[in-house]
Structure 1
Amino acid sequence: MAQVPRGLARTAQITRLNWNARPARNARLYIGAASRTIDGPSSAAPAGPESASHEPLTLPLNFYSVLHLNRASSREAVKRAYEKVINSPPDVGYSQDTLFSRAVLLKSAAECLADLDARRAYDAAAAAVGGEHTLDVSRDNLPGALVLLQEAGESALVVELGRRWLEDARAAGGAPPPAAADVAATAALALCDLAAAALEEEAGQVLGACERLEEALGLLQAHGLAPQLQQQIEDTLEDFAPRYCLELLALPLHSDAPCAARRARGLAIARQLLWGAGPNRPALAGPRLEFVDCVRTHTTAAEQVELYSGLPQGTQIAATERLDCALAAVAAGLFKGSPQLLAQADAVYAAVEAAAEREGSMADVTVERASVALLLGDSKRALGLLGLDGGGGGEGQGAPNPEVLAFVEANSPDPSDPLAGAYALARGWVNEAVLGSFRDTAGQEADLEAWFASPWVQAYAQLSLADTPQSQARGARRFETV
């Protein structure tokens, strides 16, 4: 776990990770001492939500820990430790009320440990309940107690209690209590320390660390605290964004609402990374296509469509990405019953084909476009694309592909009617190339009979392709017999 020096300089060490590699144990990012100086409003008003001000909390506040002593410490050692801690208040811009609460608790600790009889009673009380020292703290003194708990390394407890205190304050309505900024600051520091600890683990818990840093950032922003620390947290989140994004997207599908929200957050980060730098848009540091492949591995077809929808004006993406977009549109369209998505996919294929032709190269998307044409009920165009209409060549693609022709011929019982073979080609492409490419569709087979029976598909064919429902039904039967 990262060591956080006590006193004026509070430093959280955060391991810098490469998103496509294991955490580098020797690389560190420092949220430095200067950044941990949090300027907040000072106040001498009551510290907590009024509705709960008289309900004490039992906290695992250990007098030995807050004074950094052991049980063998002498009275003189207690006195020296108390003077050292009381004269070195945290330089976090806490209100005088919170600092006073901290001082009161420290004085209680010192008086207890300096009196041998009181110390024996204190230790005996702890032994009677399993060895854990506790202290009852009023709600008004909780902000000061949280500071001491944070200094003692009880970060998880500080976060839990801080969240609860802030939630109670919000539920009470009205203006935030004067101590809200102090509680938020302490919770934010605890979250930073928990993030550091997570990243120091052997596996490097990037997801948990980044979520804690985001929560810390939200607390600081909500209360207008520590602009320097905010900036360093933002920089750290930017460094970890690719790995964080992939770990969010790798969370289970079809899970509970919180998990779905986290995956949606991952998709939002992917958009920020892929479409360049700018306000709240970190640039992707690393091989773009490698990252794109990782994202596709963890996303559904519909998420891929969403990822590439509404791109910033002027965005240019590689042909391979565009082809992947088209596959996603086909897969999502089949499962949503949306022929419009298939038409969009065909437009992408046509654009890639045209761009390659302009560059003097060739993008062979004949099978893809022919399969989409069949799925949209345009069998005539599909055969033309494959070069099976007697014209001698596909649509702008030169001579037909011999391997494709051989496959169609082998799967056409009637040599004079290649449509059955074309449907077999389309079925294979859908089940292997399309559905096999996405997390939610891999291993599934498309229900093409239901596809062709869909009123939406039939209406699209009638209106856009001047085809008939009867021809759609014939298409479905052909798919079922292939």
Structure 2
Amino acid sequence: MAALSHAFPSIPSSCCHCRISNLKEDHKVCVWGFSREISDNEIGVSRVYWKKDNNNLTGRWTVNAIDTHIAETAPPRTTVEIPITCYQLIGVPDQAEKDEVVKSVMDLKSAEIEEGYTMDAVASRQGLLMDVRDKLLFEPEYAGNIKEKIPPKSSLRIPWAWLPGALCLLQEVGEVKLVQDIGRVAVQHPDAKPYVHDLLLSMALAECGTAKIGFEKNKVSQGFEALARAQSLLRSKKSLGKIALLSQIEESLEELAPACTLELLGMPHSPENAERRRGAIAALRELVRQGLGVETCVEFKTGHAS
């Protein structure tokens, strides 16, 4: 059944309603402004093992960290400038008062994060939170001034090692489009290699957030396609292949395939829908081949599946 996700032409090959009850145009985004310092130091890589609290796909996780300390040659130390305000990073409006900034930072600092992030990403997230708090409290350039109509600085320069923490935070506060746009650019850069695991995980979680929006609007096919992209992102990195999120996504795709297929087949016969309808027909053939008849499809569509 997993093959069904590839039958829909609108799902990029490079990139997933699960039992999701609490999951979370275009920004012109680029990652620019690289600077370099050469370092010959070794780095330690820690892995995180997690215990899930509940069956919710976006539920929080308890961290059980084990330091595996893999020594490898570190890449050149670099910084990257990302097109976001400090306010966006902590999920508050630009007009937020200082006490609101502090509360948001402390809430995020104490929150548990999703399964699968490395210890390095966890540490970078915490360090970035403290840095952003200080910038908003003590550096007018980043905070802006509403009374004087001075906007906050619209970009933030951080070490590359903090980028996983930045995308993790943006995903947590619901900036799913920014996560996707920044992540797509970042993973192509040579300096991102040590951080690809965490960047891809944030991008996959952002796709789950996009799926939630689709399901809330009763647009099953949009949610299905977002989950399929999340699946593909997780499958693209071996170290992400065994996390619980991937298996939950795959189970959900299997359950949703009939309803998604019927929704696509019900689209108007117009040129813009032709390719998606062809994909749905191929998916329907696959469903029939695997023994799911039309009655089962209708049960999924009407919500009466047992």
Normalised-by-shorter TM-score class? 0.5 to 0.7
- Conserved 8 A contact 1:245-1:266: yes
Number of positions where the alignment pairs a residue of Structure 1 with one of Structure 2: 244
User: 1:265 is matched with which residue?
Assistant: 279
Give 3-state SS (helix, strand or coil) of 1:179's partner.
Answer: helix
Inter-partner Cα distance in structure 2 for 1:153 and 1:271: 37
Partner of 1:165: 186
Q: Provide the alpha-carbon RMSD of the alignment.
A: 4.3
Amino acid at match of 1:270: L
Residue of structure 2 equivalent to 1:232 = 248
Q: Is the 8 A contact 2:80 2:160 kept in 1?
A: yes
Structure 2 contact 141–153 (Cα < 8 Å) conserved? no
Aligned partner of 1:154 among 168, 175, 184: 175
Q: Work out which of the residue numbers 109, 114, 119 in structure 2 matches 1:86.
A: 109
Letter in structure 2 aligned against 1:286:
E
Decide whether the 8 Å contact of 2:164 with 2:198 is kept in 1. yes
Match of 2:130 among 107, 111, 114: 107
Amino acid in the other structure paired with 2:186: W
Query: Quick one: structure 1 residues 120 and 140, their matched pair in 2 at CA, closer, same or farther if it must change by over 3 Å?
Result: closer
- Unpaired segments of 5 or more residues in structure 2? 1-18, 24-54, 300-306
1:286 aligns with 2:301: no
Letter in 2 for 1:165: A
CA drift at 1:213: 0.2
- Cα–Cα, structure 1 residues 268 and 58, in superposed 2: closer, same or farther, change >3 Å? same
Q: What TM-score do the two structures reach when normalised by structure 2?
A: 0.62
CA deviation map 1:82-119 (0-9, x unaligned): 4443343524232233223222221112213343xx35
> Contact 1:46 / 1:140 at 8 angstroms: preserved in 2?
no
Greater share of residues in strand: 2
Identity %: 24
Structure 2 CA distance for aligned equivalents of residues 183 and 102 of structure 1: 12
Distance 1:45 1:107, change over 3 A: farther
Moved more, 100-109 or 34-43: 34-43
**Relative to 1, partners in 2 of residues 1:192 and 1:36: Cα closer, same or farther, differing over 3 Å?**
farther
Aligned equivalent of 2:234, options 220, 223, 234: 220
Cross-structure match for 2:14: none
Secondary structure at 2:157 match in 1 = strand
Any conservation in 1 of the 2:164–2:195 contact (CA below 8 Å)?
Answer: yes
How far is 1:73 from its partner? Answer: 3.7
- On the 8 A contact 1:38/1:185 being kept in 2, the answer is no
* Bigger radius of gyration: 1
Does 1:56 find its partner at 2:80?
yes
Cross-structure match for 2:57: 31
CA drift of 1:79 comes to 5.2
The CA deviation at 1:222 is: 2.5
Q: In 2, distance between residues paired with 1:209 and 1:47?
A: 39
Within-5 A mapping of 1:292-331: none
Distance 1:132 1:252, change over 3 A: farther
Pick from 82, 97, 107 the counterpart of residue 72 of structure 1. 97
Structure 1 unpaired stretches of 5+ = 1-10, 16-28, 278-282, 292-482
What CA distance in whole angstroms lies between the structure 1 residues aligned with 2:71 and 2:252?
35
Query: Using the alignment, how far apart are the partners of 1:157 and 1:62 within structure 2?
Result: 13
Matches within 5 A, 1:32-431: 32-33=58-59, 54=78, 56-63=80-87, 66=90, 71-74=96-99, 81-115=104-138, 118-119=139-140, 122-124=143-145, 127-129=149-151, 133-166=154-187, 168-169=188-189, 177-201=193-217, 204-223=218-237, 224-249=240-265, 250=267, 260=275, 262-277=276-291, 283-284=292-293, 286=295
1:13 and 2:36 aligned = no
TM-score (norm 1): 0.42
8 Å CA contact retained: 1:192, 1:212:
yes
What is the alpha-carbon distance in structure 1 between the residues aligned to residue 230 and residue 256 of structure 2? Answer: 16
CA distance in structure 1 between the aligned counterparts of 2:225 and 2:69, rounded to whole angstroms: 29
Per the TM alignment, residue 132 of structure 1 is displaced from its structure 2 partner at its CA by: 7.5
Asked if the contact 2:136/2:142 (under 8 Å) is kept, the reply is no
Query: C-alpha separation between the residues in 2 aligned to 1:137 and 1:264?
Result: 45
User: Is the 2:88–2:170 Cα contact (8 Å) retained in structure 1?
Assistant: no
The one-letter code matched in structure 1 to 2:21 is: Q
